[in-house]
Structure 1
Amino acid sequence: MMDLNNKVAIVTGASAGIGAATVKALLKQGMKVVGFARRKEKIENLVENHDGKLFAVSVDVTKPQEILAGFAWVTKNVGPVHVLINNAGVLGNSTVLTGDLDTWQQLMDTNFMSYAITTKEAVKIMTANNINGYIININSTIGYYDLLMPNNVMYRSSKIALRVMTENVRVELARMNSNIRITSLSPGVVKTDIMAATYGEEMGKEMHSNIPYILSEDIADSILYVLSTPQRVNISEIMIRPTGEDIRKLSV
């Protein structure tokens, strides 16, 4: 079991939703938590008393150099990373035949490429410092089945790609005889502001009023569970759905 006290965690997409809940949960475990997000001030205001263990870094994860600069800042000012929680994510209408190239790019850069870049950098730092670290990629259950919604195809593709990448990193680490562990954690519908931010407040409320959902805190608790497992255990994939979920209702 990893001793989390005073260890360093980096959480991407830390300003709201699952990221914000995870920051709070890790702080309660005594970790030094660094939040990456474009809205740095929102991270700084997440908790009032954090005993100097909360750090906020302004990082746009669609810009590789900002990610690398963020990791360098953490290593220099807080310490080498022990736990990486990749959580940054965006939605967007993303058909292939009529979709917008900029939207595709933002989706793939945020939901997939940033995870690959942070994973590579974290493994490099953990390996150099002999840290048996843990990387948890927040994915989505939508990466496991097709809703047959053309306007969702690029978002879903980013999640499938993330599943493939995460498992192959696990195998690559095994072939390196590394003790670094990696998990793809896929929630179902979570009540956050991502739907409202993408499609408007009214649609967000309508969705959460018609189907079961779980809370950001439920995912944060699941992250703590994954981190609590013995070193011999690597939970490679985990799915967390709301009780009574019928995914077909999402495609209506």
Structure 2
Amino acid sequence: MGMERYAGRVALVTGASSGIGAAVAQALLRRGLTVVGLARRVDRVKALELKDAPGTLHAVEGDVSSEESVLAAFKWIRENLSGVDILVNNAGLGNDSDLTSGKTEDWKRILDVNVLGLSICTREAVQDMLRRGVDDGFIIHIGSVLGHVPPGSSISAMYSASKHAVKTLLEGLRKDLVARKSNIRVGEISPGAVKTEIIKTNFKILPPNFFDTIPSMEPEDIAEAAVYMLSQHPRVQVQDIIIYPTCSE
């Protein structure tokens, strides 16, 4: 039993318009899942469709920092696809705001997306699974190696703190599900440097070619980790996959 058990099932991938989210969405499409890609840039999600893949893609416009937007997305999924069986909490962002002069709205944006948005999506997905009697669902958080180590500098501290929160929230979720005697599994993938748009769009202090100066991975590498996690026997829960680029310090 591998990914075959999820063929035709519904996977919601947040932040699916680029980077890791786009790679995860396409990896699941190739394995026959019905994928709902949630993002603000819905046209970019539509462009992920693979004509030779057995899965089906649905692009849904949404912003995980808005509870109203998230609830609307889950409502659409219930009405059109029955419900969510797999949730990949990929949406995330950071910025250059340090801890002594940063703007409150910049800090809030990080926490709204990386922590609260993730938590709202998780709550709605789990409640949906429980309501439908889905006992083999899966919640995957895309974290970061920065959630396992002290921040390297002040400008990364709030982002790093949000990823530490993701790790803590995952363990809390696991214990919640154990208490409910539910077989819904959870896991976190914690990557190091991955070539995505995050530097160009979020961390302006770093040069645009930053990923060319350090060992780094491709989004598809992280997508394969998600597939590995999902492919394990139902008796196996992979709690965290920490992935560094080869030769990374």
Instruction: Compute the TM-score of the two structures, normalised by the length of structure 1.
Output: 0.93
Q: Which one-letter code corresponds to 1:209 in the other structure?
A: D
Aligned 8 A contact 2:23 2:220 in 1: yes
Q: C-alpha separation between the residues in 2 aligned to 1:55 and 1:101?
A: 35
Which residue in the other structure is 1:142 paired with?
Answer: 146
Aligned 8 A contact 2:29 2:55 in 1: no
The question of 1:15 aligning with 2:12 is answered no
Q: C-alpha separation between the residues in 2 aligned to 1:154 and 1:200?
A: 15
Which residue in the other structure is 1:198 paired with?
Answer: 202
Which residue in the other structure is 1:126 paired with?
Answer: 129
Aligned 8 A contact 2:32 2:55 in 1: no
Unaligned runs of 5+ in 2: none
The question of 1:64 aligning with 2:54 is answered no
Instruction: Compute the TM-score of the two structures, normalised by the length of structure 2.
Output: 0.94
Unaligned runs of 5+ in 1: 247-252
Q: Which one-letter code corresponds to 2:154 in the other structure?
A: P
Q: C-alpha separation between the residues in 2 aligned to 1:224 and 1:161?
A: 24
Q: Which one-letter code corresponds to 2:120 in the other structure?
A: I
- Shift of residue 79, structure 1, vs aligned partner: 2.2
Q: What secondary structure, in the 3-state scheme, does the structure 2 residue paired with 1:137 have?
A: strand
Q: C-alpha separation between the residues in 2 aligned to 1:201 and 1:158?
A: 20
Instruction: Give the count of matched residue pairs.
Output: 245
Which residue in the other structure is 1:233 paired with?
Answer: 236
The question of 1:214 aligning with 2:217 is answered yes
- Shift of residue 211, structure 1, vs aligned partner: 1.1
Q: C-alpha separation between the residues in 1 aligned to 2:238 and 2:112?
A: 26
Which residue in the other structure is 2:43 paired with?
Answer: 41
Aligned 8 A contact 2:143 2:188 in 1: yes
For residues 141-184 of structure 1, the C-alpha deviation after alignment (integer angstroms, 9 at most, x for no partner) is: 01111244011111111000111011111011001100001111
The question of 1:183 aligning with 2:187 is answered yes
- Shift of residue 70, structure 1, vs aligned partner: 0.3
Aligned 8 A contact 1:193 1:204 in 2: no
Q: Which one-letter code corresponds to 2:193 in the other structure?
A: V
Aligned 8 A contact 2:138 2:230 in 1: yes
Q: Which runs of 4+ in 1 moved over 3 A?
A: 199-202
Alignment of 1:49-128 (within 5 A): 49=51, 53-128=56-131
Which residue in the other structure is 1:244 paired with?
Answer: 247
Which residue in the other structure is 2:6 paired with?
Answer: 4
Aligned 8 A contact 1:139 1:163 in 2: yes
Q: Aligned to 1:173, which of 170, 177, 182? A: 177
Q: Which one-letter code corresponds to 2:28 in the other structure?
A: L
For residues 39-98 of structure 1, the C-alpha deviation after alignment (integer angstroms, 9 at most, x for no partner) is: 111100112526681101110111011101101101111221111000001110132221
Q: C-alpha separation between the residues in 2 aligned to 1:57 and 1:67?
A: 10
Q: C-alpha separation between the residues in 2 aligned to 1:118 and 1:233?
A: 24
Q: Which one-letter code corresponds to 2:16 in the other structure?
A: A
Q: Which one-letter code corresponds to 2:12 in the other structure?
A: I
Q: What secondary structure, in the 3-state scheme, does the structure 2 residue paired with 1:11 have?
A: strand
